[in-house]
Structure 1
């Protein structure tokens, strides 16, 4: 029942074209912190918000800012809101080759392999996360990895790296 209420609220929010703010899933969060003046753009793997928006973005490895559409997708990859930073309103347009609304994303590992993949809804395939260092760079949560058979036809040649 709780899941249905959350999904119903998420659907309503998406239908209205709004984004959820951190903390509405029961986790409390202080305003994102970080020194945006220390670098010109968020480094690959950083989660950030822009201006006064509640939308969360991930600085991806391919010059794309991945917009996380809702808490469901967010919490398929991370455990907490920790690590968010706030950047100026023009960050996406000035730092990235584009942005993509990530309609879905999750971590998966085939039980017969140590490789961990991320499902990239932008291309509709799994991208291999090339090393534990890259996994940690993106601060993904290891307890979010699903185990499920992955066929080679589902795997992209475009790896997820730094």
Structure 2
């Protein structure tokens, strides 16, 4: 009887180690994985989208955006997404491992340009204010639609996040 018990315990231990090994784990720190755009697993490294890329995972309609510094945002619904783009072209489908961890809702984002200024701002609800889009090349990198820019006569300067520009 003890022989059967030992054999069953060995089989269970082997099965458990195979399940843990097959599941994979992150070998990189969250900060290095976020900045490198790679997620390491036991099987292979998966390259995740870097800043400027929109993506989703198979079977889930949620659209994500990798923002400056590798911060991952998601759009709660299509009206939020449509505040920045005119179409869904350019969205890639990636591994589910690319959406593990924190993602921040980008609610009601808008693009704003103040009359008499060349600066364009994006409203970042998560950080609670307007972030200056530093250059035209950054604007283009994110694929923002220039037709979505709202022209305002002024903006409350206290709502501009001066230490947090939207950069490459």
Q: Fold match, TM over 0.5?
A: yes
Structure 1's consecutive aligned runs of 4 or more residues displaced over 2 angstroms after TM superposition are: none
Asked if the contact 1:108–1:146 (Cα under 8 Å) also holds between the matched residues in 2, the reply is yes
3-state secondary structure, aligned to 1:127:
strand
Partner of 2:14 in structure 1?
A: none
Partner of 2:81 in structure 1?
A: 74
Asked if the contact 1:118–1:126 (Cα under 8 Å) also holds between the matched residues in 2, the reply is yes
Q: How does the TM-score come out when normalised to structure 2?
A: 0.69
3-state secondary structure, aligned to 2:139:
helix
Partner of 1:147 in structure 2?
A: 151
Instruction: State whether structure 2 residue 58 is matched by structure 1 residue 51.
Output: yes
Aligned residue among 113, 118, 121 for 1:114: 118
Partner of 1:91 in structure 2?
A: 98
Q: Which runs of 5+ in 1 are unaligned?
A: 1-36
Asked if the contact 2:124–2:131 (Cα under 8 Å) also holds between the matched residues in 1, the reply is yes
RMSD value, Cα: 1.6
Partner of 1:125 in structure 2?
A: 129
State the structure with more CA Rg: 2
3-state secondary structure, aligned to 1:72:
helix
Q: Which has the higher helix share?
A: 2
Residue-by-residue CA offset, 1:114-157 (whole Å, 9 max, x unaligned)? 10000000011000000000000000000100011113211002
Q: Greater relative contact order (Cα 8 A, min sep 6): structure 1 or 2?
A: 1
**What is the number of residues matched between the two proteins?**
122
Q: Which runs of 5+ in 2 are unaligned?
A: 1-43
Deviation at 1:62, TM superposition (A): 2.8
3-state secondary structure, aligned to 1:103:
coil
Instruction: State whether structure 2 residue 141 is matched by structure 1 residue 137.
Output: yes
